[in-house]
Amino acid sequence: MGVTDAAVTGRLRHHKEALWAVINMASLRPRTALALVVASLLPALFALAGLRTDNNLADWLLEDDPALLRYQQFLAEYGNDEAVIIAYQPRGDVFAPEERALQARLAERLEAVEGVEEVQAPALLAEDPSPRARAALQRSGLVSPDGRTATVVVRMAAHPDAEALRGGILRKVDEAIAEILTPAGRPAHLAGKGVLYEAINRQTMRESGMFFTLALVVMALLLRVTLLRWRAVGIALAAPFATAVATLGLLAAAGRPMSMVTAILPTLVLVIGLSDAIHIISHYYTAYRAAPPRSGEERRRLVVRSVTEMAVPCFLTSLTTALGFLALSTSRMTVVRDLGLFAAIGVGLAWVFAMIVCAAGLSLWAVTPPREEARDSFVDGALAWLAQRLPRWRRWVLAGGLGLTLALLAGSGRISADTQTLAHLPEEHAIRRDSEWIERNTGFYTPLEFVIETGANGGAHSPAFLGRVDAWRHQLDADPQVGRTLGASDAPRGYLAADGRSTRVTAYLPMMSARVLRRSRSDCSRKGNGHWDRRQWCE
C-alpha cells in the first residue's frame, strides 16, 4: 500500500472514530439525544407558522425574460391589471332600486379595503338605464348580453406588496358577499387572476399535506410488513419525519414560499430519508441474529456498531443525492432553484437525524428482530424464484429492457410544454365551476392586453389613430374566439398612457391553455397588421 493510500485510510479511520464517538454518546444518553433532536425542531415549528404559499407567475420566468419585462413595463405604465369579478343574477331588473342599493353597499364596503383602487358596478356607473347606457355596460362586461346577470369588478391598486395584500382583499370580498349578497338570496360567482392564484395556493398547501400524510401511512404499513416490529417502524419513521419538519421550517425561515414545485419537499425528503433508517435497522437485525446480545450493555454496543458501520455508506449515498439536487440550485427559475437547494439540505439533515435517532431509539427500546422463518412470505418466495431463473433469462431480460427503453424514448418525443392554469384545480373545485358559470352567463373574462405605441407625445389622442384602433377592434369583435374588446373610446381611464404615446386594448378571451392563447394572440396580431406597422405595435 502506497503512502497516499495509507493517508486516505488514516483519514477514513479518523472520521469513522469521530462518528463512533457521536453515535456512542447518543446510545449512552438516548433520552438526551432525542430531546436535543426535538429541541432542534422547535425553531422550525415556529417558522412553519409563517409559511406561505405563492405561485406567482414571475417565479416561473427568468428575470430577463422579454415577456416578463414587457409585462412589468405595462404595469408601470397602466397600473395593476388584476381584478376580482363578482357576478350574480338579480331577481328583477339590474337597475331596480333594491339592486342599486345592494351594489352600492357592496361597493362602499370594498372601496374601503386596503389595496383596492376602484369598484365598478352597473348601477353605480349609469343612473339612467337608457338603451345606450345598457349597451355601454354590456360592452364593458358589467351587464350580460341578455341583461339577466350583473357583474361587480373590484380592481386592485398598484402596490409593492400586491401579492401579500391579495389574500386579505379576497377575504374581505368573501365577507362582503356573505354579509350583503347571500342574505338577499343572490348567490355570487367569483373569477379573476387573483382569485385563481389564491385558489391554487390553497390547493397546493392542502394537497402537500394530504400526500405527505398518505405517504406516511403507506410507509408505516409497508415497514410493518417488512420489519415486523412496531417499535422498529416508529424509529425508522421518526428520523425522516423530523427531517421533513426541519426542511419546511428552513424554507419558511428563509422567507421562501411554498409553490407547486416545492410542495413535494416534505414527501421527497420523507421517502429519501427513510432509506438510511431502513439500512441501519436491517443491518442491526442481521447483526442481532448472528450474535444475540446477552445483556442490555451488549445490545447497546451492537447498536453502536451497527449504526457506525452503516454511517459511511449511507453518508456517501446521501452526499451524491444531495449534490444531484444541489445542481438544480443553479437554475435561473426561482421555483426550481428553491427545490434543489432545500432538497439538498433535507437529504443532509436526513442522514444526521437517522444516525442519532436510530442510535438513541434502538438503545432506549429493546427491539428484537423477528425469526427468519417469520419473514417467509409470498414476496420472499417470488424474489427467490426470480433470483434462480433470471440468470438463465438474461438475454431475454436485456432485450426486453432495451425494447422498453426505446419505446419510452419514442414516447418522450411526444411530450409538449403547455399550461392551463385552471386545470391545476380539481374539476369539482368551486372556482372552476364559477369560471364556467361566468363564461356561460356573462361572457369571456380572461384579458389579453395589447399596447399600441404612436412614437410621439400625445399621438394616442389623435382621432385618426384612435379610429384605426377602433377599426382593428371591430375586426376582433367579429371573431368568435374574442368575447369583446375594450379601448380608450369605451374606457378612457387607464387606457391611455400618461404621456399620450401609447394606448392599450383589452381583448377578452375564454379561459384556455398557454399554447392556445399564444395562437389566439397571433391571430389578433395578424388582424392588426393592416392598421399599423410593427414599430407601433407592442403585445
188 touches 181 (CB < 8 A): yes
User: Is 125 within 8 Å of 137 (Cβ atoms)?
Assistant: yes
Residue extent(s) of CATH 3.30.70.60 domains in the chain: 444-538
| pLDDT, tens only, 358-380 | 999 999 998 888 876 555 556 66
pLDDT in tens, 368-414: 888 765 555 566 677 778 888 888 888 888 999 999 999 999 988 88
**Closest C-alpha to 446, from 437, 456, 455, 435:** 435
> What sign does the CA torsion over 120, 123, 128, 129 have?
positive
Q: Where in the chain is the domain with CATH 3.30.70.1320?
A: 83-191
Q: How far apart are CA 224 and CA 220, in angstroms?
A: 6
Query: What pLDDT shows up at residue 85?
Result: 93
Taking residues 53-72, what's their average pLDDT? Answer: 77
Into which CATH architecture does domain 444-538 fall? 2-Layer Sandwich (3.30)
Average pLDDT over residues 417-431: 83
> How far apart are alpha carbons 472 and 481 in whole angstroms?
15
Residues whose CB is less than 8 angstroms from the CB of residue 201 and which lie 6 or more positions away in sequence, other chains included: 52, 53, 54, 55, 167
Q: Which three cell numbers stand for residue 38?
A: 426535538
Can you identify the CATH homologous superfamily of domain 83-191?
Multidrug efflux transporter AcrB pore domain like (3.30.70.1320)
In the chain, residues under CATH classification 1.20.1640.10 are 3-57+207-375
Segment 503-520 shows an average pLDDT of 80
Place of cell 427500546: 365
The rounded mean pLDDT for the chain is 85
Say which amino acid occupies 202: R
Identify the residue with better confidence: 126 or 173: 173
Q: DSSP string of 426-451?
A: -TT-HHHHHHHHHHHHT---EEEEEE
Above 90 in pLDDT, residue 265? yes
Residue 10 has pLDDT above 90, yes or no: no
Does residue 3 surpass a pLDDT of 50? no
Q: Look at residue 271 and tell me whether its pLDDT is greater than 80.
A: yes
Per this entry, what is the length of the chain?
539
Contacts of 51 (CB under 8 A, 6+ apart): 248, 251, 252, 257, 258
The lowest-confidence range among 109-118, 152-161, 348-357, 400-409 is 152-161
What is the rounded average pLDDT of the residues 68-87? 84
pLDDT for residue 117 is more than 70: yes
User: What are 90-104's pLDDT values in tens digits?
Assistant: 988 888 888 888 999
206, 258 contact by CB (below 8 A):
no
What CATH code is assigned to 3-57+207-375? 1.20.1640.10
What are 210-226's pLDDT values in tens digits?
A: 999 999 999 999 888 88
Reported pTM: 0.81
Q: DSSP per residue over 509-525, as a string?
A: E-S--HHHHHHHHHHHH
Question: What was the pLDDT predicted at 8?
Answer: 44
Phi, psi (degrees; rounded to nearest 5) at 512: -145, 175
Report the pLDDT averaged over residues 320-337: 90
Please give the sequence-ordered ranges of beta strands (E in DSSP) within 129-271, or none if there are none.
150-156, 189-191
